[in-house]
Structure 1
Amino acid sequence: MSARVARVVIDSPLPQLDHLFDYAIPAELDGVVPGVRVRVPLRSAGRVADAFVVEVVDDSEHQGSLSPLETLVSEVPVLSPEVWHVARAVADRAAGSASDVLRLAVPKRQVRVEKAYVAAGAPGVPAGGAMHAPLEGYAGSGLDEGIADGGRFAVDAVPGLVPVGDGSIGAWAATAARLAVNTSSRGRQSLIAVPDHRDLDQLEAALGQLGAGDLVLRLDAAQPPASRYRAFLSALGDGPHIVIGNRSALLAPASRLGLILVWDDGDPLHREPLAPYAHVRDVALIRQSQSDASLVLLSHARSVDAQRLVEMEWLASVSPSPVVRPRVVLAEDPPGEASARIPATAWKLAREALASGPVLVQVARPGYAPVVACGSCGTAATCARCHGPLGVARRGAQPQCGVCGAVAAPWTCDVCSGGALRLVSRGSGRTAEELGRAFPGSRVVVADGEHRVLTVPASPSLVVATRGAEPIATGGYAAVLLLDGERMLARESLTIAEDAMRWWSNAAALAAPRAPVVLAGVSGGLAQAFAAGNHVLFASRELADRRTLGFPPAVRTATVTGPADAVGTAVDALADVAVRDILGPIPVETGGVRSVVRFDYRAGADVARELRSALIRNATTRRRPVAGRPQRAAPSLRLHFDDPEVWT
């Protein structure tokens, strides 16, 4: 044995293993350095586990003998110190395990890719090539200078499109690309996180137009594993690379980090669906606090979370100069007339616009008729098997359950025993069919989850798209119709108003200059704020309302779910912590109960620590054996911090 000791983090979902373990480094494993992958023995059942070496030290605090490392998997140090520190902080904030965060940060090993990387001498991105790009649309804002000085900003994006090659991309992508290229020109690295592949394609095109294609490293969950691992290895170098990707992009290695940028931080795709459920915005805040990098939250419609950070002066607010606003028209039927899905004003503007270019029609739901009801009494039709809602996928199709997929033929109403169904909602397919009849001879394009359309030409056409699936039209749309606003706002959700503002604003940004953007059938303060472009004022008022009610993001929450006794024990552990209140417990559909703890941000570390301890105690406790039955582990306890689903 050598005198060296490896302190490792084990890749395990068990919370009781979420700390560093000491192992002796055998003399033959002289390639063990911090960051490499190893395999280590576990004393239970003689198993072997994967692990990362976090530290190599000369002595151990452990009083007994140390087990030696089993194997050195690879000599490439894939876990950089800065990534370990941010993973540990992200896990601690949400009472989670660091190994769960590291699975997102470090891709699975691809042996051939790694061998080629080592044979080539661990190449990274080129050391130069980026030239300073003037920042357009923010004259006199000091944004570019503030980025160079490590500032933190909430930036309102310029609504509109810019030309790239034979097509167009969002002006936001051009802004993000220029900020990243300017950071590279100073020899620093950038991390940019966007919600989905459409945004990634736009951002990559914008960076290519600025001549920074060689600096771009794309880390996308949809990539082939080999391509993703190759990009990840390149990011280990100290060149001025620009990492773009989805949620995990902000966990990429960057030893000389200069810019962290998040596009559209209000998009729910930025929330990791797996434990510890970290949001990209929180990862960005943690990583910025651990470095001297600048931070930018860029969006068309500011999230309430970002507005909170502005009002506490953690972020500086930056708006375009000169001010650019879409031409928004609020369209409603005259008083006394029956409400139509598409008011007369919207019909007129759409017909005029269709003569010169494409018209975008945003709808709430995909499919043909997402909801059907009894033709006799009007009761919403549900599945006989699971009681999920019935819908019709296409014209003439049999009604089908939206949850279990069962075909409901024949169907009988539980209320009146009627057997006839009627369509009560219009999805993208049915809307396209109706518009095709209203505008005979016009080309109709459907873009939704089943029909992937990224771009459309500048020629006249009707483009029916669900929110978030809108294609980009070359040069912009001649008109944008925003339908189903009332239906969107009827959803029970704490964030529905800001979600609607974001959906509408992102769609409006696809319009050509001075093209009409028609919001149909919605009135009130939200519609007025959208029409006037008062996104910041709307976010500020929304935040004030939530402060009054004690709702996020004015406060933080921790959701504790599991068996009643386990939840009660976990909640009791917070007796000495200054929490606001504890809601529940209430039964949940999956069995057990749920309690929600509300607390101020300053109590976050204490709440996370106590609940994490309760989770470990629950995981390591065994039920008392019953004669004739094997000993079983205690029922699981689940923690979820800042879960938005609690308020739906």
Structure 2
Amino acid sequence: MTARYARVVVDSRLPQLDRLFEYRIPPALEGVAPGVRVRVPLRGDRTAAGYVVEVADARAWEGEVADIEAVVSPVPVLRPEVWALARAVADRAAGGAADVLRVAIPGRQARVEKAWLARAAEGAAAEAAEPAATEGAELTETDASPEPDAPPESPAPLEPDDASAPLLPGLVEARRKVALECAGGVAEVPVAGGGTAWVGRWAVALAGLARQAVERGEQAILVVPDHREQRQLRLALEAAVGEERVVELDARQRNPERYAGFLRCVDGGGLAIIGPRSAVYAPAADLGLLVVWEDGDPLLAEPLSPWVHARDAALVRQGQTGCALVIAGHARSTDAERLVEVGFLEHERVGAHRVRVLPTALADDGRRVPAAAFHAAREALASRPVLVQVARPGHAPGLRCGDCGTRARCAACGGPLGQRTRGGQPGCRLCGRLAAAWRCPSCHGIRLVEVGRGSTRIAEELGRAIPGVPVVVADGEHERLTLDARPRIVVATRGAEPVADGGYGAVLLLDGDSLLAREGLRVAEEAVRQWATARALAAEGATVVLAGVIGPTVGALTGDTTVPFAKAELAERRSLRFPPAVRTASVVGHPDAVAEALEALAGIEHLDVLGPVPAEGAPGDRLERAIVRFAYADGAHVAGVARGRVLAAAARPRKPGAPPRLRIRLDDPEPFDGL
């Protein structure tokens, strides 16, 4: 019998193992096919998990070839399109493909796999039996029955919504690439089992685009920052394409539920696939549409190596598949604006949202809620709820010494101390430790004074200022996704605002001055995005009060579009050679490794280096950091050189538990957080 060979990607974080390994398939071993999970031997007695990428009859490696040890599962979970995406994304980010696959493919669930394999076997048996059953006979129209695997009938179309219809007809068929600015407002959609639910109009608009792909028998992948947007989009999609054609992929799901959804994507057919940043890697052999909602949200940046942003992964996948691409949001990000200006994306805007925006300065008496905000709130509370957006959760976000004014910090980690409730114990906002016996390191005082106002304290103050009106809090500890239309005051931290039935009668945006006072490259851009998200929850004709903010940033919220603001931000960064006008890489490690990496990169044209400077690390570690700026056209060259230097540094011996000698992160936002 002719020997057959499998090329396997090993699930390992070691950069030295980021390549395909060739193994012989033992004649007695069944089920080895592209995409299945296997266990393979490594050097010595070690074994590792991996995925079969391809199977061949000829060897590509002339040296000794070991045998595959076992097939862990016969289900082909690594689809060809996912492997191609993982490899390309990892190469672009100078990272490892296995790290991307760890995000893309959920952990195995044996019972779910068993049920999936049984259904697949039943479907195959039914297909094989059908020709024999019908041989020599003609089916009449009354005798005919649908095939077992036939998709359900297309759901009835939604009633047209004046705010979003018609929405870019033919976008999927023409494979357009669009930067979509969605107007605000809320809409009512039917839900399964009867009744209705209120969601953002943006969700209805994106569901209409997804329907274009599903009607063609293709898949649509829609990526959102978190579960709040995911819930709204799921409801809109179920109304647009039917509950049976909507698949959620979310780490918040139970493991069996998430894995079942993943295998549903493997089956293919017309589907709308939704989820957070990892959903961009969902299996979709016939991808018709890829949508990224609010691409400026930091939650779409992967916190694990190779730190790929969902927007960047979507751009790579669109280039591989040729699918339609939509980068959408209430506010235009500078990254999306750059893609428009270079001609990669077309600009589109849908919908209209009529609200009145009132920017107001803070009073000299230190009040955080201006008189105009109180007036707007009292008027709106006659018939609708009012949203108050604040910066921090808890009672007091900061504390200081009552004697000398020194900022109170945690004795364990140095993080800032805060107070969750009135009269509660002070605790660290970073590590969570209580500081009941706090003593000032400067004057040894023990008296603490509150600094700032959190969501619960502002709720208490508003309750006293407007008596007789219920006040509720929505933040990380008090989650509220929806709200009925009864008049009440809703105090919510940014990103935790619930959707109110019919929209809010007024939206008060507090703490704008403290938000803009932070240091960071994207502070103004992030503020505009968060304000636009809150404004979008207002009802038609509502008043939006922006407290404590004056100047050019206000124009992004008072106008009909945020595009001029994004253009101005991008132009300023282009003059300074800051992202996203250029790409960057942070080079961190031992001084000799950093110097060698910078020397290897020095020959690339249009590349400049900031640093190196000392970097933070564990006690006793001598680390340096440099920032490399380079043109997008040189990205592949820089990534290749960077990966080579990381591999060379990893090959050198180091003490157990010691940090890597060199870490290179492309498109790292952290060095610019303090600018």
TM over 0.5: yes
User: How far is the alpha carbon of 1:633 from its aligned partner?
Assistant: 8.2
1:146 maps to a residue whose letter is L
Q: Please name the residue that 2:281 is paired with.
A: 251
Q: Please name the residue that 2:643 is paired with.
A: 612
Q: Is the CA contact (8 Å cut-off) linking 1:130 and 1:182 kept in structure 2? A: no
Q: Please name the residue that 1:90 is paired with.
A: 89
Identify which of 348, 355, 359 aligns with 1:330. 359
CA distance in 2, matches of 1:306, 1:226: 36
CA distance in 2, matches of 1:279, 1:260: 15
Residues 545-564 of structure 1 aligned to structure 2 (within 5 Å): 545-564=572-591
- After superposition, give the CA deviation of every residue in 1:609-633 in whole Å (9 maximum; x if it has no partner): 111011111111226xxxxxx9998
Q: Please name the residue that 1:112 is paired with.
A: 111
Q: Secondary structure at the match of 1:515?
A: strand
CA distance in 1, matches of 2:444, 2:370: 36
Asked if 1:57 corresponds to 2:86, the answer is: no
- After superposition, give the CA deviation of every residue in 1:549-568 in whole Å (9 maximum; x if it has no partner): 11100011111112222222
Alpha-carbon distance change, 115 to 125 in structure 1, aligned in 2, over 3 angstroms: farther
Residues 112-151 of structure 1 aligned to structure 2 (within 5 Å): 112-121=111-120, 126=151, 128-130=153-155, 137=163, 143-151=168-176
User: How far is the alpha carbon of 1:389 from its aligned partner?
Assistant: 1.4
Q: Please name the residue that 2:131 is paired with.
A: none
Asked if 1:513 corresponds to 2:540, the answer is: yes
Alpha-carbon distance change, 136 to 557 in structure 1, aligned in 2, over 3 angstroms: farther
Residues 425-574 of structure 1 aligned to structure 2 (within 5 Å): 425-574=452-601
Q: Is the CA contact (8 Å cut-off) linking 2:225 and 2:276 kept in structure 1? A: yes
CA distance in 2, matches of 1:631, 1:518: 56
Larger mean CA deviation between 405-414 and 503-512 belongs to 405-414
Alpha-carbon distance change, 110 to 97 in structure 1, aligned in 2, over 3 angstroms: same
User: How far is the alpha carbon of 1:587 from its aligned partner?
Assistant: 1.8
CA distance in 1, matches of 2:220, 2:659: 45
Alpha-carbon distance change, 115 to 136 in structure 1, aligned in 2, over 3 angstroms: farther
CA distance in 2, matches of 1:533, 1:523: 18
Q: Structure 2 regions of 5+ residues with no counterpart? A: 124-148, 190-194
Q: Is the CA contact (8 Å cut-off) linking 1:398 and 1:408 kept in structure 2? A: yes
RMSD: 2.0
- After superposition, give the CA deviation of every residue in 1:514-542 in whole Å (9 maximum; x if it has no partner): 11111111000001221123300000000
Alpha-carbon distance change, 248 to 549 in structure 1, aligned in 2, over 3 angstroms: same
Identify which of 128, 148, 154 aligns with 2:179. 154
Asked if 1:413 corresponds to 2:444, the answer is: no
1:237 maps to a residue whose letter is D
CA distance in 1, matches of 2:161, 2:104: 31
Larger mean CA deviation between 349-358 and 518-527 belongs to 349-358
CA distance in 2, matches of 1:487, 1:584: 30
Asked if 1:637 corresponds to 2:662, the answer is: yes
Q: Secondary structure at the match of 1:431?
A: helix
1:80 maps to a residue whose letter is R
Larger mean CA deviation between 428-437 and 29-38 belongs to 29-38
Q: Please name the residue that 2:27 is paired with.
A: 27
Q: Is the CA contact (8 Å cut-off) linking 2:393 and 2:454 kept in structure 1? A: yes
Q: Please name the residue that 1:101 is paired with.
A: 100
User: How far is the alpha carbon of 1:65 from its aligned partner?
Assistant: 3.1
CA distance in 1, matches of 2:162, 2:52: 45
2:360 maps to a residue whose letter is A
Q: Secondary structure at the match of 2:31?
A: coil
Q: Is the CA contact (8 Å cut-off) linking 1:482 and 1:504 kept in structure 2? A: yes
Q: Secondary structure at the match of 2:350?
A: coil
Q: Please name the residue that 2:612 is paired with.
A: 585
Alpha-carbon distance change, 75 to 401 in structure 1, aligned in 2, over 3 angstroms: closer
Q: Secondary structure at the match of 2:461?
A: helix
1:106 maps to a residue whose letter is I
- After superposition, give the CA deviation of every residue in 1:480-519 in whole Å (9 maximum; x if it has no partner): 1000000111111111111110111100111111111111
Q: Is the CA contact (8 Å cut-off) linking 2:362 and 2:368 kept in structure 1? A: no
CA distance in 1, matches of 2:499, 2:563: 26
Q: Please name the residue that 2:224 is paired with.
A: 194
1:546 maps to a residue whose letter is R
CA distance in 1, matches of 2:360, 2:658: 60
CA distance in 2, matches of 1:325, 1:633: 57
Alpha-carbon distance change, 492 to 25 in structure 1, aligned in 2, over 3 angstroms: same
2:499 maps to a residue whose letter is I
Q: Is the CA contact (8 Å cut-off) linking 2:362 and 2:547 kept in structure 1? A: no
Q: Is the CA contact (8 Å cut-off) linking 1:135 and 1:144 kept in structure 2? A: no
Q: Is the CA contact (8 Å cut-off) linking 2:249 and 2:274 kept in structure 1? A: yes
Asked if 1:15 corresponds to 2:40, the answer is: no
CA distance in 2, matches of 1:443, 1:632: 54
CA distance in 2, matches of 1:383, 1:541: 40
CA distance in 2, matches of 1:32, 1:510: 52
User: How far is the alpha carbon of 1:403 from its aligned partner?
Assistant: 2.6
CA distance in 2, matches of 1:211, 1:147: 15
- After superposition, give the CA deviation of every residue in 1:344-370 in whole Å (9 maximum; x if it has no partner): 111111111112121100000011101
- After superposition, give the CA deviation of every residue in 1:297-328 in whole Å (9 maximum; x if it has no partner): 1100011100000111100000125x434321
Q: Is the CA contact (8 Å cut-off) linking 1:328 and 1:519 kept in structure 2? A: yes
CA distance in 2, matches of 1:403, 1:509: 31
User: How far is the alpha carbon of 1:162 from its aligned partner?
Assistant: 0.2
CA distance in 2, matches of 1:132, 1:618: 58
Identify which of 639, 649, 653 aligns with 1:622. 653
Larger mean CA deviation between 243-252 and 1-10 belongs to 1-10
Q: Is the CA contact (8 Å cut-off) linking 1:167 and 1:475 kept in structure 2? A: no
- After superposition, give the CA deviation of every residue in 1:8-63 in whole Å (9 maximum; x if it has no partner): 11111110110111111111224211111111111x22211111111111212211
The total of aligned residue pairs comes to: 637
Q: Please name the residue that 2:625 is paired with.
A: 594
1:104 maps to a residue whose letter is V
Q: Percent identity?
A: 52
User: How far is the alpha carbon of 1:593 from its aligned partner?
Assistant: 1.6
2:238 maps to a residue whose letter is G
Alpha-carbon distance change, 635 to 240 in structure 1, aligned in 2, over 3 angstroms: closer
Alpha-carbon distance change, 619 to 125 in structure 1, aligned in 2, over 3 angstroms: farther
Q: Secondary structure at the match of 1:120?
A: helix
Asked if 1:77 corresponds to 2:76, the answer is: yes
- After superposition, give the CA deviation of every residue in 1:120-162 in whole Å (9 maximum; x if it has no partner): 1177893652566668545677x22233210100111121000
CA distance in 2, matches of 1:209, 1:131: 9
Q: Is the CA contact (8 Å cut-off) linking 1:428 and 1:465 kept in structure 2? A: yes
- The normalised TM-score by structure 1 is 0.94
